[in-house]
């Protein structure tokens, strides 16, 4: 049973993740988009979307730090378990709260606006349920166990098992004694990956990252002189007396010039 959950399921999910993206690209390139509904409602989106995305970037960075960097490496550079725990819990709580608030706003938006509700697909609903489950489980681990509870050093078990999946040496025994919320969250993470290619999450791979490195667009001034201004209509002309030309012969009337 342990082998099925901690070895077979992760690989099956990763296979679906890869094959699903190939299938989606071949069959639904025009649907490969965020399916933005900004035009239908923008008030809640303007707050919910940046909160959700900033929170998600923070949570992803936290997962990369906690799951991919071995405890021995952070210890070697002088970061003890207590310091690591402080950084990971405080960072996890801040980014997790942003993610929860953003997700709540995005979900509320689907209920509040009838127009948004009408364009919400079944896969959107499945995605929101999956996201909520993952976020609730993750936050329970961070807040209930690691912030207020007795604490659980997942870097000695979950992280080692997680890296083992990608080295083709997953050890199911490492997950046997993990708290239930962490077990559900970890296996849920792989199921979430299997769902990914069939949802609007595929837009993540089309983020316009090249924009950050593209060469500057150079704007140049005109080489040719600007065209001479057209004379103003007679009614708008300003008539002012000219400086008297002392060299010219004097006449009875003062000379005038027209400023155009």
Distance CA 202, CA 199 (A): 7
Among 49, 74, 146, 157, binds ligand HEM (CB under 6 A): 146
CB of 12 to ligand HEM, least distance (A): 13
- CA torsion, points 186, 188, 192, 193, in degrees to nearest 10? 40
Radius of gyration of the CA atoms of the chain, in A: 32
Q: Please give the helix or strand (H or E) that residue 130 lies within, else none.
A: helix 122-139
Using the rule CB under 6 A, is 157 a contact of ligand HEM?
no
In the numeric block, which tokens belong to residue 217?
Answer: 């667009």
Using the rule CB under 6 A, is 158 a contact of ligand HEM?
yes
- 210 to 249, contacts with ligand HEM by CB under 6 A? none
Site string for ligand HEM, 80-99 (x = CB under 6 A): --------xx--x--xx--x
Looking at beta carbons only, is 5 or 40 nearer to ligand HEM? Answer: 5
Looking at beta carbons only, is 113 or 137 nearer to ligand HEM? Answer: 137
CB of 164 to ligand HEM, least distance (A): 12
Among 48, 141, 170, 197, binds ligand HEM (CB under 6 A): 141
Using the rule CB under 6 A, is 170 a contact of ligand HEM?
no
In the numeric block, which tokens belong to residue 81?
Answer: 């378990």
Looking at beta carbons only, is 94 or 255 nearer to ligand HEM? Answer: 94
For residues 195 and 202, the answer to whether their CB atoms sit within 8 Å is no
CB of 145 to ligand HEM, least distance (A): 7
Q: Please give the helix or strand (H or E) that residue 240 lies within, else none.
A: strand 238-241
Listed ranges 55-63, 69-77, 110-118, 120-128: which one lies at the site for ligand HEM (CB under 6 A): 55-63
Using the rule CB under 6 A, is 103 a contact of ligand HEM?
no
Residue 241: phi, psi to the nearest 5? Answer: -70, 140
Other residues' Cβ atoms within 10 Å of the Cβ of residue 193: 17
CB of 13 to ligand HEM, least distance (A): 9
For residues 99 and 92, the answer to whether their CB atoms sit within 8 Å is no
């Amino acid at each position: 049973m342990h082998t099925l959950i901690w070895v077979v399921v992760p690989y099956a999910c990763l296979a679906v993740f890869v094959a699903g993206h190939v299938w989606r690209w071949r069959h639904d390139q025009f649907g490969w988009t965020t399916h933005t509904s900004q035009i239908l409602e923008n008030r809640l989106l303007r707050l919910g979307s940046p909160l959700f995305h900033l929170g998600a970037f923070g949570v992803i960075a936290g997962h990369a730090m906690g799951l991919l960097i071995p405890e021995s490496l952070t210890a070697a550079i002088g970061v003890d378990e207590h310091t690591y725990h402080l950084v990971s819990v405080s960072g996890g709580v801040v980014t997790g709260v942003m993610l929860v608030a953003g997700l709540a706003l995005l979900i509320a938006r689907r209920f509040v606006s009838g127009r948004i509700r009408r364009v919400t697909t079944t896969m959107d609903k499945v995605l929101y349920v999956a996201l909520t489950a993952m976020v609730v489980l993750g936050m329970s681990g961070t807040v209930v166990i690691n912030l207020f509870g007795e604490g659980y050093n997942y870097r000695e078990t979950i992280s080692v098992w997680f890296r083992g999946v990608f080295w083709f040496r997953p050890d199911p025994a490492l997950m046997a004694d993990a708290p239930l919320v962490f077990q559900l969250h970890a296996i849920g993470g792989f199921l979430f990956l299997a769902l990914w290619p069939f949802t609007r999450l595929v837009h993540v791979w089309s983020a316009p990252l090249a924009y950050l490195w593209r060469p500057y667009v150079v704007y140049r001034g005109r080489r040719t002189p600007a065209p001479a201004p057209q004379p103003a209509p007679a009614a708008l002309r300003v008539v002012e007396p000219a400086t008297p030309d002392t060299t010219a012969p004097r006449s009875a009337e003062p000379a005038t010039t027209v400023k155009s």
